[in-house]
Structure 1
């Protein structure tokens, strides 16, 4: 028995090494090709089935990097794990599904890739087949993934039926000519598919219920799988404009971003905190789509992928470092508030100068405002750090917002260029009363959260706790183990 186990471990180690080598080689080759051919990236079409363009190369580079990084980490992390071989095969299957999705042109291939993404991710969630809670989590998540695939299939069927076309490119070119009910119906179906996969409210519970997955699988899920919603919306941006459904994305994304940030403050488990953080970031991404900035959403999901992969892969180290502490008192002084306002404003101005957003009376103003809030939040986190001197509290925010905005603006402009084959990916919309009212509500909710005012309302605490509870069969029960 031991000999068989040793032999299985050797085979899985060899498979890991080969897969890791191939993934890193493909990533390096793809990145080098983008750098060399950046100004003249080719477009290849194969019989209406496949369409490879600069956006395909962009997503391939990101996905291959994360897959290579996670397999490198898993090679040692999963040593001795009984289902190690199953993990790497499903990881490769998921990676291939995403790679195929972004070059799929025929709607059947596109839908098939979307379905397989969910299948492989569910397998990764429940890879430990000896653990009842893991099996329950995989089954629970798979129901959501299948629901999302069904919605996508309905949307594609409506579009294909009324356009008499079977490719994503041709359908996107003819959405303006569709009957209004067909445009709205297809758009709502695609929106549902996107927000289910991205764990947007009210479908966030599946992400809170998959904590049984191994850390590398969680990293791949949070850095890659949930981002699929933004990619889907980018592919069908012309439909969302034609159906006037962008406002739905803006509102739903905003509600998710605020509530998930609230919920994150109530969690005591590291993975649960990271899950809430992911849901909040997906909310911001969907908001950006709702503003007409699908390029900003893709830039956001790329940065979020890097950030969340790092957090998950270093979660164990953070647990070792953590120690019980007294209850955090949230209080901001007048001087700190003024400094946050200054740094946030300067960050917004610099972002506007580098990208050209926020200079016109359109949704670019809201995008710039989100940047200002982000810069202000970073500055506040630095100001409240007691270990820093006064000089450091002035110098570090300056360095962070200048360097951060420059790098973000550079990525934003690069993504905008690489997404040019897709229609309407950088098309700000006119500001409406919905944007203004909800923007005010969003800001009020954000500051209530940051200032800790929610602690005075027990009913709100209970509601947030209940909304963030995982499916009961996925909670560890010692009686079953």
Structure 2
């Protein structure tokens, strides 16, 4: 007699192998047919193109990775089989959503993504906090689905089209007030799922999920808004609502970076980090660079999956550290500024972004800040020699820029069938003003000025708290 446990282990191994085979198959198909990926349609209901296959490849990789990790991590877990079923349902819902051309499919599978994720968050049915987290997050996800439904149905009503391609082909014939309402509804659905302020609290309240589910959430679910905005980008352009994405994304990125510094729980710290990264992704959409947003969501998925799956090891090897103020010598300032300028030039040369007077300048600004921060961390490291401090920064950012440029150009090619991939916008006074505010906020954070003002500290701490019912409310 074969025990139920052995049967389950065998089934789990088969499912995991199938997932890895799917990933290998998707990746091989992309590589073999790149750059000319054939497009396939099933009537007006489904469509598969380079962008569809790109997202499928990423999704199947994360699904297979988390399934492999969960085999040992969740061994003996009462709801292990339920976790596998929900994870598969979530993966399939993303895959169908990406290839859906009928607005009914878009709405239904966007809703199913939220449903499966909320079930994963509250998978431990015997835990009161998990039940509350399930209800709390599901409320947000259903609200987002409602806004998406209103936006798409409104467009369908005025265009007499029920497919995404049909609506986009007639978007310029729709009255502006209709596209504006629809654009705002689509943006609301996107920022709810990405936990953008003021809808961020659901992600902070979702820590009841097992670590593999958290990895899937942060690597795959919150990134879904980037896919949604890319699919519906013509509507955002027609409604002139990109500036809204730029502002709320930038504000979220700065605020979430602040709140990350105040967290003592490793998963809450990672949640704040995810919110900040989603802010950057939304901001890239607002700048008209949907291809950059897709690259960002892919890279963030890899990075955050690694951080969550290795979070236990990080706890074991970490110890409390005192906050240190930023101190830098004049020569070090010159080195940081020089390398920031070189890194920015290299970024613009390799990707073509930021070399003209348009919204791409903001992306190069972020690159300059990132390169400067990395350089500062290296030149201030006491264990490194002068030679190492001189050589390491260019080696790191040159290799990083080249790798990013390769991926950026590859993703852009795969997205060539999409209606709008990268449409830089002219720089407006609003964007310049917000760029200055963004820089001021960054330096306030890095210099630790907020620590000298208790009311700022208290405000940041309060807005970065989960819903009270999801934290220690049901002690047994």
Give the structure 1 partner of residue 358 of structure 2: 362
For the pair 1:62 / 2:97, whether they are aligned, the reply is no
Q: State the TM-score, normalizing by the size of structure 1.
A: 0.97
Cα shift readout 1:377-399 (whole Å, capped 9, x = no counterpart): 22222233332222222222111
Secondary structure, counterpart of 1:45 in structure 2: strand
**Unpaired segments ≥5 residues, structure 1:** none
Contact 1:9 1:80 in 2 (8 A): no
Contact 1:332 1:451 in 2 (8 A): no
Give the structure 1 partner of residue 424 of structure 2: 428
What are the residue-to-residue correspondences of 1:362-401 with 2, within 5 Å? 362-401=358-397
* 1:18 CA drift (Å): 1.5
Give the structure 1 partner of residue 16 of structure 2: 20
How many residues matched? 476
What are the residue-to-residue correspondences of 1:73-88 with 2, within 5 Å? 73-88=69-84
After TM superposition, the structure 1 stretch with the greater mean CA deviation from structure 2, 241-250 or 330-339, is 330-339
Cα shift readout 1:168-219 (whole Å, capped 9, x = no counterpart): 1111121111101101000000000000000001100000011111000000
Contact 1:126 1:137 in 2 (8 A): yes
Instruction: Give distance in 1, aligned partners of 2:339 and 2:406.
Output: 20
Instruction: Give distance in 2, aligned partners of 1:213 and 1:152.
Output: 26
Instruction: Give distance in 2, aligned partners of 1:127 and 1:210.
Output: 11
Instruction: Give distance in 1, aligned partners of 2:235 and 2:376.
Output: 40
Secondary structure, counterpart of 2:222 in structure 1: helix
Contact 1:101 1:114 in 2 (8 A): yes
* 1:324 CA drift (Å): 2.7
* 1:12 CA drift (Å): 3.2
Give the structure 2 partner of residue 326 of structure 1: 322
Contact 2:35 2:414 in 1 (8 A): no
Structure 1 residues 385 and 9: CA distance shift in structure 2, 3 A: farther
Instruction: Give distance in 2, aligned partners of 1:8 and 1:391.
Output: 61
* 1:16 CA drift (Å): 2.0
Give the structure 2 partner of residue 480 of structure 1: 475
Q: Which of residues 310, 314, 337 in structure 1 aligns to 2:310?
A: 314
What are the residue-to-residue correspondences of 1:34-73 with 2, within 5 Å? 34-73=30-69
* 1:7 CA drift (Å): 4.2
Q: State the TM-score, normalizing by the size of structure 2.
A: 0.98
For the pair 1:264 / 2:275, whether they are aligned, the reply is no
Instruction: Give distance in 2, aligned partners of 1:383 and 1:306.
Output: 28
* 1:8 CA drift (Å): 4.4
Cα shift readout 1:111-139 (whole Å, capped 9, x = no counterpart): 11101100110111011111111111111
Q: Which of residues 121, 136, 139 in structure 1 aligns to 2:117?
A: 121
